[in-house]
Structure 1
């Protein structure tokens, strides 16, 4: 199979059929063998019914239905687990991603040799204040922090080698940082393609301004994980040593001063240096404990439950 198209969705009943027909036309005109995997992330409208109808008429349509809304990252993870194509294409279901971009994305993976190609919606039809400016700030911070030179980390239209999606762990809300996860996994040949952004035709966006706050918090998380995820003691242990040295130095100073320099002066407990020494030594110990706990958790069996599937079609 040439291509797996993975499409997470939530309450997109108006656009599913039109998107399917558009993708099918592109695939057939380019003679691709393909599958379309719709992941219904807990829709409350007729989305699953439409997917069921499409699947009954076309064996290339496959569906996964979550028991409830688990989030886009979990939906992508479920689609990646089921994908069988040599190249995996992800796109949103709201018709803002253009399926006509698929052939060139496919060629960039299979001919140009990229591991991952991310779309760049250079010209957008979103609100400048509510989306464009925060998105530019978010992408700038992601580039500086991760070292991955992409202009649009959050673009839903991406292409991957099958090996990439089978070897990355997309959880939480880390779908924004799949290129960073891929780089951390060793897939460093990451490209970018300017793609056409289309105005939303049906419905309303499912994401509010809080996604940018969550995005920045996730950025801090992924930076920490990429730097210290396999060696948390290196960070917490170093901080603990620094804090402990500061506290111990104050303690030595107070002891020498009281015993030899000023034995008749104030009690040690009446001096601010005593509390600095006490606080920093306690904080240093806590950093050490945090490092040890991180190492223990890292080596323990992790909970793999991310989503619960209610129904599947053709899988």
Structure 2
């Protein structure tokens, strides 16, 4: 086993748009394990929009990454050494956090994985993005048959699951995505009734009004910015707005102006944010439901694989900039038995 681990650390905080200069790759001695800890070799690293927020020194639902520390991110890894009774060398586990070739974690934070589906899916459709879509719709959005649901970033890791679950609930689904190819995927594969290419339309509010002649009952918010401003006036009485993320604004140095909230009481709207980890059992329930659907091909997903830990910063910048085509994952290594 190598005695060195490589890490991608936060070298500086962004001033507005994040750049590659905000990151650095460093090498360190392999740490020793203490009782209850597990050392994993990273196989797959998840890249998610929330990571941009962790680069700022600002109060949020989770601590910021400190300068010189590895960026945070969920991984699938192979157990290399263990001082925890539930884990042994060779097991594949989910939950170790950090942009590192090797991660030391408390065994209590890890979940052992079995085969049957690709390990990378536990970072996407079976992981935090899939759980987010499931929990946001179940607890807040609650789409009903015949209602109109709009989802921003409809081809993304969260949005693509939202589209499929909303259709299963009987809703009329309108997706918003950036680019003809993404919109075709949202319509033809995921099953949305309409998908609006926000990069191609000259008047997004007008395009939404045409796509939603009966207004909008549920809006699953992943983007913010101009998309949110176009959706908000079309919300129906008792509409629900699921606040998941606002990726279009993560690089803004100053908060963008929001919509006038008078309609919140005149239309009796429900606008609610959530963090998927507030209810830990969400993940177990979602995987029990979704794993058979993936195995049967009923639940669709796609991934964009980036090779090499050192390319994780470029992957994050592409994701925040909207140039990714699918759920972004970094392939770091193969299992020892592969």
Whether the TM-score (by the shorter chain) exceeds 0.5 is no
Normalising by structure 1, we get a TM-score of 0.21
Normalising by structure 2, we get a TM-score of 0.20
Larger radius of gyration: 1
The structure, 1 or 2, with the larger RCO (C-alpha pairs under 8 Å, 6+ apart) is 1
